[in-house]
Amino acid sequence: MSEVYAPRRARLREQTAAAGAEAALVSRPANVRYLCGVAPARSALLLGPVQDVLVAAPTPAWDPGSGPLPEGLRVLLLPDPAADPAATAADLAAADGAGALAVEEHHLTVTRHRALRAAAPGLRLADLGRAVEQARLVKDEQEIACLRIAAEIADQALGELLESILVGRTERHLALELERRLVDHGADGSAFPTIVAAGPHAGRAVHTPTDRRVEEGDFLSICLGADYQGYRCEVGRTFVIGTSPADWQIELYDVVFAAQRAGREALSPGRACRDVDRAARHVLDAAGYGDGAGPGMGHGVGLEIDEDPRLTPSAMGKLDACVPVTVEPGVHIPGRGGVRIDDTLVVRPQADGGPELLTITTKELLAL
């Protein structure tokens, strides 16, 4: 994918110039990775007037010898582990003749911003804002291909687990087994800590797996995701354990399933993000489960597992084609458990067949 980074940097440099700054300093790790393919833990990327430089502190967090270096980019490894790469980059920008430097004020701390100003006192500091996050919203086909593979890996790991005996095993062990299977199938790691929630825990949006064992009659919610080349997806399903679900379980499942379908069907280019939330939430509200529905019905995914756009009641903005998002309504009833259904999809126009479902594990209510 190395040929994508230079054009991404060129676009950002054009935007920066249009805003009156000769140089930009990118410090947020996912943004650094988007623009040059790597993101050492303590690093900053300078798009300067005469050169692009990745400045990195010599933490053990990055070994430049461990992989290919970013192309078209100078790499400057600082001798002092305590040095701030951003301050050095500002100094470089000034030395290369920049008058103004746009920085990520939503990422730099007040202390680092001050140090940067001190390192290059002649430089005017401007705000780059969320320009890189904005560029990251719409994915290219290579990025979507990575997400597709990540989703396939998560589906495989989940599918294999469902073929094994679940009763009597703890949430912790099932979560660890899923994470092992993700790596077995080629993931670079989990996209986020795997959630396995049994019985009264089922349906929670976030849950740290416990020693609770899976029992007959439980709802069992599982949410996992793979990281493939930095791209992260998620899939969540809820099952019932035992031969046949109880009536309340079938009823609750049907409601969440209908809400999730309504959310998925609302995904189309040009649609307001809040409409997706509203479509799913309306189904939960109408069935009397609105209170336990949580703050949002989904979010963007990509180099971060939770990125723009937000599918929440207060979200601004509209969906675009080629934006991958999750749709994940859920209901949790304290003391009883609940249901969550979570897919990763890519927004596509109707002419192209509508939203592309990346996570294809069945959403029928399985009794395991």
What are 237's two structure tokens? 């399903």
Which residue lies nearer to a second copy by CB, 210 or 268? Answer: 210
The window from 8-16, 94-102, 103-111, 341-349 that contacts a second copy (CB under 8 A) reads 103-111
Amino acid found at 77: L
Q: The sheet that has 124-127: what strands, in order across it?
A: 74-77, 52-56, 43-47, 23-26, 100-103, 124-127
Residue 285 has what DSSP assignment? H
CA angle (112 as vertex; 106, 114 as ends), nearest 5: 105
From 6, 145, 176, 357, residue interacting with a second copy (rule: CB under 8 A): 176
The window from 62-70, 225-233, 235-243, 245-253 that contacts a second copy (CB under 8 A) reads 62-70
Q: Does 232 bind a second copy (CB under 8 A)?
A: no
Q: Does 50 bind a second copy (CB under 8 A)?
A: no
The window from 75-83, 133-141, 250-258, 356-364 that contacts a second copy (CB under 8 A) reads 75-83
Quote the CA–CA distance of 116 and 220 in Å, as a whole number.
50
Q: Is 339 within 8 Å of 363 (Cβ atoms)?
A: no
Q: Is 311 within 8 Å of 277 (Cβ atoms)?
A: yes
Q: Does 66 bind a second copy (CB under 8 A)?
A: yes
Q: What's the closest the beta carbon of residue 170 comes to a second copy, in angstroms?
A: 10
Quote the CA–CA distance of 355 and 135 in Å, as a whole number.
21
Which residue lies nearer to a second copy by CB, 170 or 268? Answer: 170
Which residue lies nearer to a second copy by CB, 11 or 180? Answer: 180
Quote the CA–CA distance of 330 and 213 in Å, as a whole number.
22
Q: Does 59 bind a second copy (CB under 8 A)?
A: yes
Q: Does 317 bind a second copy (CB under 8 A)?
A: no
Quote the CA–CA distance of 244 and 164 in Å, as a whole number.
18
Quote the CA–CA distance of 347 and 81 in Å, as a whole number.
43
Q: Does 80 bind a second copy (CB under 8 A)?
A: yes
From 15, 17, 19, 58, residue interacting with a second copy (rule: CB under 8 A): 58
Q: What's the closest the beta carbon of residue 294 comes to a second copy, in angstroms?
A: 6
Q: What's the closest the beta carbon of residue 81 comes to a second copy, in angstroms?
A: 4
Which residue lies nearer to a second copy by CB, 60 or 353? Answer: 60
Q: How many residues sit in the footprint of a second copy (CB under 8 A)?
A: 43
**Residue 246 to residues 216, 219, 289, 311, 331, Cα–Cα distance (Å):** 11, 10, 18, 32, 16
Which residue lies nearer to a second copy by CB, 78 or 151? Answer: 78
From 9, 13, 33, 113, residue interacting with a second copy (rule: CB under 8 A): 113
Q: Which of residues 332-361 bind a second copy (CB under 8 A)?
A: 334
Quick check: bond before 309 cis, omega within 30? Answer: yes
Amino acid found at 194: T
The window from 85-93, 100-108, 231-239, 283-291 that contacts a second copy (CB under 8 A) reads 100-108
**Residue 228 to residues 147, 290, 305, Cα–Cα distance (Å):** 7, 35, 12
From 3, 18, 63, 68, residue interacting with a second copy (rule: CB under 8 A): 63
Quote the CA–CA distance of 50 and 7 in Å, as a whole number.
16
Site string for a second copy, 285-314 (x = CB under 8 A): ---------xxx-------------x-x-x
Q: Is 274 within 8 Å of 259 (Cβ atoms)?
A: no
Q: Which of residues 119-148 bind a second copy (CB under 8 A)?
A: 127
Which residue lies nearer to a second copy by CB, 58 or 242? Answer: 58
The window from 178-186, 226-234, 263-271, 285-293 that contacts a second copy (CB under 8 A) reads 178-186
Virtual CA dihedral for 345, 346, 347, 350, nearest 10 degrees?
Answer: -90
Chain residues in the site for a second copy (CB under 8 A): 58-63, 65-66, 80-82, 105-114, 127, 172-173, 176, 179-180, 183, 188-189, 193, 204-208, 294-296, 310, 312, 314, 334
